[in-house]
């Protein structure tokens, strides 16, 4: 009888360990899937902002080619305020070869996404940042007769 009791307890222990292992695996998968979903949403937002930047740049180049001496062009952005209930910010970074857009969660800075704008810093200047909580996010193209600049501003 005592050996049956020990066998029963050992089977119960193995079952409990199996359930704990499965639970830990499921929680890990849930966190991984949630992070992927956040990154996918951030990348989608960056692609839209990138498209606006390229459109503004193309419109500005057309104006310059048509003989404009100086002008400003402003495009208001409609961005989601939160991604998976998290606030985020978008900023412009650069290397010697290209400008990049980087989106980062405000409270989890280790979750970020970077995309290349495929625009050389030798062509024009791009700078600034956007906040998801701002209602006045905009992309501004400015030409003063010599310098071409694009600003991201909240």
CA-nearest of 100, 76, 103, 110 to 87 is: 103
* Helices and strands counted in the chain (H then E): 1, 7
CA 57 vs. chain centroid, Å, equals 21
Residue 35 has a pLDDT of 87
Residue 5 has a pLDDT of 79
- Asked if 141 and 150 count as a contact pair (C-beta separation under 8 A), the reply is yes
pLDDT value at position 1? Answer: 61
Print pLDDT tens along the chain (154 aa). Answer: 677 878 888 888 888 888 888 888 888 887 888 889 999 999 999 999 999 999 999 999 999 999 889 889 999 999 999 998 999 999 999 999 999 999 999 998 889 999 999 999 998 999 999 999 998 999 999 999 899 999 999 9
- 92 forms beta bridges with 101
In eight-state DSSP terms, residue 86 is B
Given the structure tokens 């498209």, which residue do they identify? 51
53-74 pLDDT, tens digit each: 999 999 999 999 998 898 899 9
- Give the residue carrying structure tokens 């048509």: 66
């Amino acid at each position: 009888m005592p050996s049956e009791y020990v066998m029963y307890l050992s089977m119960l222990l193995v079952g409990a360990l199996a359930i704990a292992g499965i639970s830990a695996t499921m929680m890990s998968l849930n966190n991984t899937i949630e992070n992927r979903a956040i990154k996918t949403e951030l990348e989608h937002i960056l692609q839209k902002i990138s498209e606006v930047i390229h459109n503004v740049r193309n419109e500005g180049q057309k104006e310059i080619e048509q003989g404009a001496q100086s002008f400003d062009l402003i495009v208001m952005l409609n961005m989601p305020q939160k991604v998976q209930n998290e606030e985020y910010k978008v900023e412009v970074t650069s290397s010697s070869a290209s400008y990049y857009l980087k989106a980062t969660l405000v409270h989890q800075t280790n979750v970020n996404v970077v995309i290349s704008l495929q625009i050389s810093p030798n062509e024009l200047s791009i700078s600034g940042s956007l906040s998801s909580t701002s209602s006045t996010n905009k992309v501004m193209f400015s030409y003063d007769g010599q310098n071409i600049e694009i600003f991201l501003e909240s």
